[in-house]
Structure 1
Amino acid sequence: MINNLNFQSPELFASVVFTPEFNSFKTINPSQAWSLFFTGGREENKLDSKPQISLLFTMTVLAVVISGFVRTLIIQAFFPG
């Protein structure tokens, strides 16, 4: 069996965020940010074709944070001390 994989490449197991092409302080969109988060920094365009998915993830995180804050306020209001 012959394979043509180059396992000696330093970028093979490295994160994409540390490559010189990516790390030029350019602005990334939410799809790229969530792709980097879910792939552990290995791929930046995994969700790039579906911007609605990144909006869903962002709104879900925002809803969880707001509901936790509101829950704390309600518990403090009805059960002081």
Structure 2
Amino acid sequence: METRFNFDGGSLFTPIAFREDFNQFARLSATQAWSLFFTASREDSALGLSRAAGRFWTGLLVATAIESIVGVVIFQVF
């Protein structure tokens, strides 16, 4: 099992997004982005390494937005 948590140093309570070793212009996966969102930038692997988790949350967000737009259009007519 691999962990990226650093128990020593001044960056112990610093969000991952603001650490020097995080921003190396590497691409983030959707799962890492959602992990950072849900944990307030504390952990980038909280949802695991599976691509399915990122796709699920992205799909859920898109479906919610589409459902909201369709709901407004349908109920605005009546």
Question: Normalising to structure 2: TM-score of the pair?
Answer: 0.79
Deviation at 1:47, TM superposition (A): 2.3
TM-score (norm 1): 0.77
Deviations 1:21-53 (A, max 9, x none): 112333211011011011110111222422111
Instruction: Report the identity percentage.
Output: 33
Q: Distance in 2 between matches of 1:28 and 1:44?
A: 9
For structure 1, the residue ranges without an aligned partner over 5 or more in a row are none
Q: If you compute each CA radius of gyration, which structure gives the higher value, 1 or 2?
A: 1
Instruction: Name 2:4's counterpart in structure 1.
Output: none
Conservation of the 8 A alpha-carbon contact between 2:34 and 2:54: yes
Aligned counterpart, 1:17: 17
Asked if the contact 2:30/2:54 (under 8 Å) is kept, the reply is yes
| Matching of residues 31-70 of structure 1 within 5 Å | 31-70=31-70
CA contact (8 A) 2:16 2:42 kept: yes
